[in-house]
Amino acid sequence: MLRPSPIPGSCAIADGAVGRIGVALFDWAGPGEQRVAVDWMIIGAARDADVFAARLAAVPRPFYGRTAIGSAIDFAADLLTKAPFRTERKVIDISGDGTGNAGRPIADARDAAVSAGITVNGIVFLTDPEGQPDFLKAHTNPAGGLTAYYRNLVIGGEGAFVMSADSFEAFGRAIIAKLIREIS
């Protein structure tokens, strides 16, 4: 995001209004299953982005289980209140491959975050239901599609949006494009 890239606007951080962003990353699954994976850091130079990327690459997947989107939004909103710097914008990015099936109601958590001035954006990982058991098909491919589910239930706030990806490679590109859109 700080170096020339085939993605238009990939120098969004350096070209942004402040020239840097604060970022933290947490893993989540079911209720009570949230953990900060990469703590708050400021990215304002290529070396900062490299440090963040190295920390991210070293994170093992900590949880396998339910999908508590509302609990994840609550955790992220609390994490934002603990940022060690002042922010002009507060954005939560929720990435997932299924519908909420545990924890606090999603709309309640989203509405609380939006009331606190936080924008909640989403990125969905679309999966092929072929060969999945019925319970998983309904979770990963709800009626109307997962992107619409996120649009209607998860995202909210000023300029909120959802993006989707249908492969791990596309997911990486979508995350970069989403971050650029949020920063620009």
Where do the domains of the chain lie? 12-183
User: Radius of gyration (Cα) for the chain, nearest Å?
Assistant: 16
Q: Which CATH superfamily, name and number, covers 12-183?
A: von Willebrand factor, type A domain (3.40.50.410)
Residue type, 9: G
**Cβ atoms < 10 Å from Cβ of 52:** 18
Q: Which residues contact 152 (CB under 8 A, 6 or more apart)?
A: none
Q: What is the mean pLDDT of residues 12-20?
A: 74
Q: What percent of the chain has pLDDT over 70?
A: 91
Please tell me which residue, 59 or 108, carries the higher pLDDT value.
108
| pTM: predicted TM-score of the whole model, two decimal places | 0.84
What pLDDT, in 10s, does the model give residues 75-106? 999 999 999 999 889 999 999 999 999 999 99
Which of 2-6, 116-120, 133-137 is predicted most confidently?
Answer: 116-120
Q: Which residues contact 180 (CB under 8 A, 6 or more apart)?
A: 1, 7, 9, 10, 12
Question: According to the model, what pLDDT value does residue 6 have?
Answer: 44
**Helix, strand or coil, per DSSP, at residue 85:** coil
Please tell me which residue, 82 or 182, carries the higher pLDDT value.
82
Question: According to the model, what pLDDT value does residue 63 have?
Answer: 65
**Helix, strand or coil, per DSSP, at residue 62:** coil
Question: According to the model, what pLDDT value does residue 29 have?
Answer: 81
Least confident of 14-18, 49-53, 152-156, 175-179: 14-18
Question: According to the model, what pLDDT value does residue 1 have?
Answer: 46
